[in-house]
């Protein structure tokens, strides 16, 4: 993602009070729903899923964010050394920049969707849009498991289904899981980005072979999911700050229930994508 999107937004007064104060510039961590905790650095979201057998970390921000994410995990009373699985929704530097750090720290297994594994191995150098720019590179990291569409990621009773939702990166991934909050079961979706970065080409000299069909596949998959709660790799995408303000300590999940917002997000992103395709093809964009 462009560095403009990597602004660190200072949030305050989360419902869950950290056991230790967060580092300067970090967003205070909090429990979002069930075993899911927000441990991101402002707009760059990251999620820790706690289990009795260790943690799963989904996304992690830019390389420089490693100390912030680490301190957020500790502030919640958990140990970063107990991370067992590292996942990502996309292998761009602002989402996997801390993977190498946390793998070295914890020995966690890096699991990446087919299509993004090579990006992780070469530190972003093979990225179809940003590969030539060293500013978007990150420390390469070994991939222990290459995920396929529909694979399960399991740990300590937690079960996530990995969905291949490619386009933003060739192996962008979306995950879904069920959580129990106060006796109610919620379906949670960690949605991959389907935004289109400037310079991406679909029709004429496409950015990579099949990118047009990949984006359409991603939207098809996202449309098939019907979450109660949804989050994404950027806090602004799912309006974290506004939802956070409505949280209660008894049932924080309730503030994040937003099936209509999810449907609206997918519809709007799909329309924007199709308009860009139409423009590149010399056709009229769709009517709003």
Give tens-digit pLDDT for 213-261.
999 999 999 999 999 999 999 999 999 999 999 998 888 999 999 999 9
Answer whether residue 51 is part of any domain.
yes
Residue 285 lies in a domain: no
Instruction: Supply the CATH number for residue 111's domain.
Output: 3.60.15.10
Query: pLDDT band at 286, cuts 50/70/90?
Result: low
Residue 1 lies in a domain: no
Q: What are phi and psi of 131, to 5 degrees?
A: -60, -30
- Per the structure, how many domains does the chain have? 1
**What is the per-residue pLDDT across 51-80, written as a single tens digit (0 to 9) for each?**
999 999 999 999 999 999 999 999 999 999
Q: CA-to-CA distance for 76 and 88, rounded, in angstroms? A: 21
pLDDT at 13: 25
Does residue 287 sit within a domain? no
Say if 117 falls within a structural domain.
Answer: yes
Domain extent, residue 101, equals 7-12+25-280
As beta bridge partners, residue 185 has 180
What are the residues whose beta carbons fall under 8 Å from the beta carbon of 13, sequence distance 6 or more?
Answer: 28
Residue 19 within any structural domain of the chain: no
> For the sheet containing 152-155, what is the strand order?
152-155, 158-164, 173-181, 184-191, 229-232
Angle between helices 211-224 and 259-280 (to 10 degrees): 160
Does 47 fall in a domain? Answer: yes
Task: Please state the φ and ψ torsions of residue 94, each to the nearest 5 degrees.
Answer: -90, 5
Q: Residue 247 domain-assigned?
A: yes
Give 108-164 pLDDT, tens digit per residue. 999 999 999 999 999 999 999 999 999 999 999 999 999 999 999 999 999 999 999
pTM over cut 0.75: yes
């Amino acid at each position: 993602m462009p560095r403009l999107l990597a602004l660190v937004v200072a949030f305050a007064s989360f419902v869950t009070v950290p056991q230790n104060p967060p580092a300067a510039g970090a967003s205070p961590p909090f429990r979002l729903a069930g075993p899911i905790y927000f441990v991101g650095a402002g707009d760059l979201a990251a999620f820790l899923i706690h289990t009795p057998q260790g943690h799963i970390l989904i996304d992690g921000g830019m390389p420089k964010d490693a100390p912030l994410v680490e301190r957020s995990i500790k502030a919640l009373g958990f140990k970063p050394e107990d991370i067992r699985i590292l996942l990502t929704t996309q292998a761009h530097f602002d989402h996997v920049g801390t993977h190498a750090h946390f793998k070295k720290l914890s020995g966690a297994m890096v699991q990446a969707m087919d299509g993004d594994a090579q990006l992780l191995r070469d530190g972003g150098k093979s990225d179809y849009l940003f590969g030539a720019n060293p500013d978007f590179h990150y420390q390469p990291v070994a991939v222990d498991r290459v995920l396929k569409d529909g694979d399960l990621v399991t740990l300590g009773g937690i079960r996530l289904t990995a969905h291949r939702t490619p386009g933003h990166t060739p192996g962008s991934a979306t995950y879904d899981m069920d959580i129990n909050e106060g006796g109610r079961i919620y379906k949670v979706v960690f949605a991959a980005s389907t935004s289109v970065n400037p310079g991406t080409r679909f029709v004429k000299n496409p950015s990579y072979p099949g990118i047009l069909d990949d984006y359409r596949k991603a939207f098809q998959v996202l449309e098939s999911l019907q979450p109660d709660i949804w989050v994404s790799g950027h806090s602004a995408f799912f309006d974290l700050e506004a939802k956070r303000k409505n949280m209660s300590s008894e049932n924080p999940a309730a503030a994040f229930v937003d099936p209509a917002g999810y449907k609206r997000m997918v519809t709007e992103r799909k329309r924007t994508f199709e308009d860009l395709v139409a423009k590149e093809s010399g056709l009229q964009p769709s009517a709003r």
